[in-house]
């Protein structure tokens, strides 16, 4: 039994209350929100095929063109076109694309010259691609991606009934036996759990531009991406945040609808992409920022108060019991979500990577704040 000054006892009591409160909030998120994805049943789809335009964006990445583009061109589907948005590529890439066009008449190439593109990122080139699309339903992807199945288009387009304007789909990094790869896959899994689950409770707030579908008319209804031409990202999450509603959004998670991402094994490109995400997140609707922030803050509070109570509290068995309940809840829900999304090998390492990602996210936020301060000096 330890004896502490009254002021310390009060502080410890506040920490304990924070621990319990964060525990309750975390359980609510896992069971009531993430549980929507964990126990989700695939919905009925249209039984007929609709014409589709696939937008494939790349920026001087001939390696990926050679490896991945053919998987989109050879989809088991009748009425579709593939529009390659070719930005700033060299002569060899142009020769390769011309050769593929002769072989695949459904391939269309749009060349965006770097010197004439006054906006950074892919928002402006993507808008050109949407404008050039022949068909109403558009599926967007990127150079380092390939479909998991020849039925990729078929699985996604079946969601577009009369009400559907946007379909959120899943993409995942191809597994490798490296720390960085597992970290990327864990982060991608958790992010996907969050945006799929929120869509299922009627609050779609983001999607991933590697595997995202929407109607051309809906794209223009919100004036496309004009408002974010000057941003380096946001072509996916901000579009969904502006366009998505409870009635016009669906998710597609069948394994055939997945996109597989080639992992370059590098940390910095992934870091920069996450930084762009945090930068664009400030443009989200206020309620979405609150809900996302509450989950992140409650998780951080739970871990930090747990450490303090393990060191100073007399209620060790109770504190450990609460921690294990939260951990068991996390493992149950995440395991079911992983099964839905065809992910493997991540469950055992989940708590370890969760702690790492919390530190990375905190560092990212501080780096953005510091960059802003330096910008105004």
Name 30's Cβ contacts closer than 8 Å, sequence gap at least 6: 329, 330, 333
pLDDT tops 70 at residue 256: yes
Instruction: Quote the pLDDT of residue 377.
Output: 47
Read off the pLDDT of each residue in 168-176 and give the average, rounded to a whole number.
Answer: 96
Better-scored residue on pLDDT, 124 or 341: 341
∠ Cα 110 258 256 (to 5°)? 110
Q: How far apart are CA 40 and CA 43, in angstroms?
A: 9
pLDDT of residue 1: 46
Residue 237 has pLDDT above 60, yes or no: yes
Quick one: pLDDT at residue 6?
62
Averaged over 206-220, what is the pLDDT?
A: 94
Q: Report whether pLDDT(153) > 80.
A: yes
Average pLDDT over residues 292-304: 96
CA–CA separation, 96 vs 220, rounded Å?
A: 32
CA 358 to chain centre: 17
pLDDT for 7 beyond 80:
no
- 194-209 core/surface letters (b: 16 or more CB in 10 A; e: else): bbbbbbbeebbbbbbb
Query: Are 177 and 305 in a shared domain?
Result: no
Same domain for 363 and 214, yes or no, is no
How many domains is the chain partitioned into structurally?
2
Question: How far is Cα 195 from Cα 294, in angstroms, rounded to an integer?
Answer: 15
Do residue 255 and residue 134 come from a single domain? yes
Question: How far apart, in Å, do the first and last CA atoms of the chain sit?
Answer: 53
pLDDT of residue 376: 43
Please check whether residues 135 and 235 belong to one and the same domain.
yes
Position 377 in a domain: no
Residue 229 and residue 74: Cα distance in Å, rounded? 32
Residues with Cβ within 8 Å of residue 203, at least 6 apart in sequence: 246, 287, 288, 291
Same domain, 155 and 125: yes
Measured between alpha carbons, how far is 349 from 177 in angstroms, rounded to an integer? 13
In a domain, 281, yes or no: no
Let me know whether 26 and 73 are in one domain: no
Mean pLDDT, rounded, for 130-147 = 96
| 242 and 189 co-located in one domain | yes
Q: Which residue did the predictor score with more confidence, 252 or 345?
A: 252
Task: Flag the least confident range among 3-12, 31-40, 58-67.
Answer: 3-12
Residues 56 and 25 placed together within one structural domain of the fold: no
Does position 233 have pLDDT exceeding 80, yes or no?
Answer: no
Domain identity same for 232 and 302: no
- pLDDT of the residue at 222: 66
In a domain, 181, yes or no: yes
Angle CA(140)–CA(135)–CA(97) in degrees, nearest 5?
Answer: 60
In a domain? residue 217:
yes
Lowest-confidence range among 11-15, 50-54, 167-171?
Answer: 11-15
Residue 275 domain flag: no
Q: Which of 248, 264, 280 is the last residue before a domain boundary?
A: 264
Of 69-78, 100-109, 165-174, 218-227, which gets the smallest average pLDDT?
218-227
Give the mean model confidence (pLDDT) for residues 215-242: 76
Q: What percent of the chain lies above the pLDDT cut of 90?
A: 69
Instruction: Let me know if 62 is exposed, middle or buried by CB neighbors in 10 A (0-12, 13-18, 19+).
Output: middle
- The predicted model scores a pTM of 0.93
In this predicted structure, the answer to whether residue 190 has a pLDDT above a threshold of 90 is yes
Please indicate, yes or no, if residue 173 is contained in any of the structural domains.
Answer: yes
Domain CATH for 168: 3.90.550.10
Q: Range of 247's domain?
A: 52-264
Choose among 163, 345, 363, 173: nearest CA to 261.
173
Q: How far is 8 from 319, CA to CA, in rounded Å? A: 18
- Are residues 93 and 200 part of one domain? yes
Mean pLDDT, rounded, for 174-184: 94
State the Cα–Cα distance between residues 291 and 287, nearest whole angstrom: 6
Q: Name the average pLDDT for the chain.
A: 90
Same domain? For 96 and 226 the reply is yes
pLDDT tens digits, 82-117: 999 987 677 788 889 999 999 999 999 998 876 555
Can you tell me the mean pLDDT for 280-304?
94
CB-based contact 52:80 (threshold 8 Å): yes
73 lies in the same domain as 213: yes
- Identify whether 271 is part of a domain: no
């Amino acid at each position: 039994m330890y004896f502490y000054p009254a002021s310390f006892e009060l502080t410890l009591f506040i920490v304990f209350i924070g621990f319990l409160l964060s525990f309750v909030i975390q359980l609510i998120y896992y069971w009531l929100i993430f549980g929507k994805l964990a126990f989700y049943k695939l919905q009925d789809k249209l039984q007929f095929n609709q014409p589709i335009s696939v937008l494939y964006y790349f920026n001087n990445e001939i390696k990926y063109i050679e490896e991945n583009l053919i998987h989109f061109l050879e989809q088991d589907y009748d009425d579709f076109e593939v529009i390659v948005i070719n930005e700033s590529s060299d002569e060899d890439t142009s020769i390769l694309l011309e050769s593929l066009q002769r072989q695949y008449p459904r391939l269309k190439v749009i060349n965006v010259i770097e010197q004439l593109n006054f906006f950074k990122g892919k928002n402006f080139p993507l808008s050109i691609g949407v404008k050039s699309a022949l068909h109403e339903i558009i599926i967007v992807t990127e150079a380092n991606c390939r479909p998991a199945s020849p039925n990729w288009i078929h699985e996604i387009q079946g969601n577009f009934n009369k009400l559907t304007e946007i379909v959120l789909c899943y993409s995942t990094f191809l597994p490798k036996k490296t720390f960085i790869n597992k970290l990327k896959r864990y982060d991608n899994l958790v992010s996907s759990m969050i945006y799929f689950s929120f869509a299922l409770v009627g609050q779609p707030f983001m999607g991933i531009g590697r595997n995202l579908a929407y109607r051309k008319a809906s794209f223009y209804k919100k004036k496309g991406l004009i408002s974010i031409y000057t941003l380096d990202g946001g072509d996916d999450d901000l579009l969904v945040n502006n366009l998505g509603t409870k009635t016009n959004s669906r998710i597609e998670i069948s394994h055939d609808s997945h996109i597989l991402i080639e992992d370059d094994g590098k940390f910095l490109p992934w870091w920069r992409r996450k930084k762009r995400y945090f930068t664009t997140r400030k443009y989200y609707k206020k309620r979405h920022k609150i809900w996302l922030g509450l989950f992140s803050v409650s998780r951080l509070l739970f871990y930090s108060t747990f450490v303090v109570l393990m060191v100073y509290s007399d209620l060790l068995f109770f504190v450990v019991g609460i921690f294990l309940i939260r951990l068991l809840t996390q493992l149950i829900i995440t395991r079911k979500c992983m099964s839905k999304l065809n992910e493997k090998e991540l469950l055992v390492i989940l708590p370890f990577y969760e702690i790492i990602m919390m530190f990375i996210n905190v560092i990212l936020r501080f780096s953005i704040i510091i960059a802003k301060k330096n910008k105004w000096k």
